[in-house]
Amino acid sequence: MKLEGKTIAILIASRGTEEPEFAQPRDALKDAGAKVIVISSKTGTAQTVNNDLDPGGDYPIDKVISDVSAEDFHALVIPGGSVGADKLRADKNIVAFIRDFFAAGKPVAAICHAPWALAEADVLKGRKVTSFHSIQTDLRNAGATWVDQEVVTDQGLVTSRTPDDLPAFCAKMVEEFAEGRHEEQKASV
C-alpha cells in the first residue's frame, strides 16, 4: 500500500463534476491505502455527470471547504467536467485551498477542465501541463507550457487530458502522492 497513512483531499462541485474523473482517482487512491476526503462548497450530496450532459451518480460530501485546510492533507485531486471545474474555480475558498497546496509543496493532480482552477489560483507560471484541448489557451495565458500528452508530471503536479487518460493519470497520481512534498512546487506560487 503506497499511500497508507496519507489523507488525500478530492474536490467535487455540488453539480457538474465528471463522474469517471472523480470516481476512478478516488478508487485508485483508496486501493493504494489512502484515506480520501471528499470536499465541496456545500454539505450533502454532489451530483456528477457523464460527458458533461448526462446524469451521473450522487456522492456524499465529507467536508465543506470552510472547515478544512491544506495542512490537513498530504495531496489534492481536482476532477474535471467543464461545469464542475468552472464552479470550483469560481469559489474563492476553493481557489485559496488549491493555492495553499502549492505554497506547501504538496502534490496536486488535475484532469480535463480542472486546470482552469489552477489558472484561477495563479499557480501555473513556468509549469508544463496538459488538459482538455479547449482550455489550452487559458492555461498558456496563465503562464503554463501546454502539451498534448496523456499525462504530464511537473514537480508534483500531475495533469491529464480526458477520461481516456485515467489509467495513466491514476498511476502517475499515486506515484507522485507517494513521493510526498516537492519543494519545487512552491516556485509557482
30 three-state secondary structure:
helix
Which of the residues 39, 49, 108, 112 is marked catalytic?
A: 112
For residue 187, the model assigns a pLDDT of 73
Instruction: Average the pLDDT over 152-156 and give the result.
Output: 95
Distance CA 47, CA 179 (A): 32
Instruction: Average the pLDDT over 183-189 and give the result.
Output: 78
State which residues form the domain around 147.
Answer: 7-188
**152 occurs within a structural domain:** yes
> What are the cell numbers at 71?
495542512
> Please, which pLDDT band fits residue 185 given cuts at 50, 70 and 90?
confident
**2 occurs within a structural domain:** no
Q: Among this protein's residues, is 170 annotated catalytic?
A: no
Count of domains for the chain: 1
For residue 184, the model assigns a pLDDT of 80
Residues with Cβ within 8 Å of 115's Cβ and at least 6 positions away in sequence, in order, are: 124, 129, 131, 135, 139, 144, 159
For 111-151, the pLDDT digits (tens) are 999 999 999 999 999 999 999 999 999 999 999 999 999 99
For 15-73, the pLDDT digits (tens) are 999 999 999 999 999 999 999 999 999 999 999 999 999 999 999 999 999 999 999 99
Q: How many other CB atoms sit within 10 Å of the CB of residue 69?
A: 12
For 17-27, the pLDDT digits (tens) are 999 999 999 99
**1 occurs within a structural domain:** no
- Name the strands in the sheet holding 45-50, side by side, starting at the edge strand that comes first in the sequence: 15-18, 45-50, 54-60
Distance CA 163, CA 48 (A): 14
Amino acid in position 13: A
CATH number of residue 48's parent domain: 3.40.50.880
**115 occurs within a structural domain:** yes
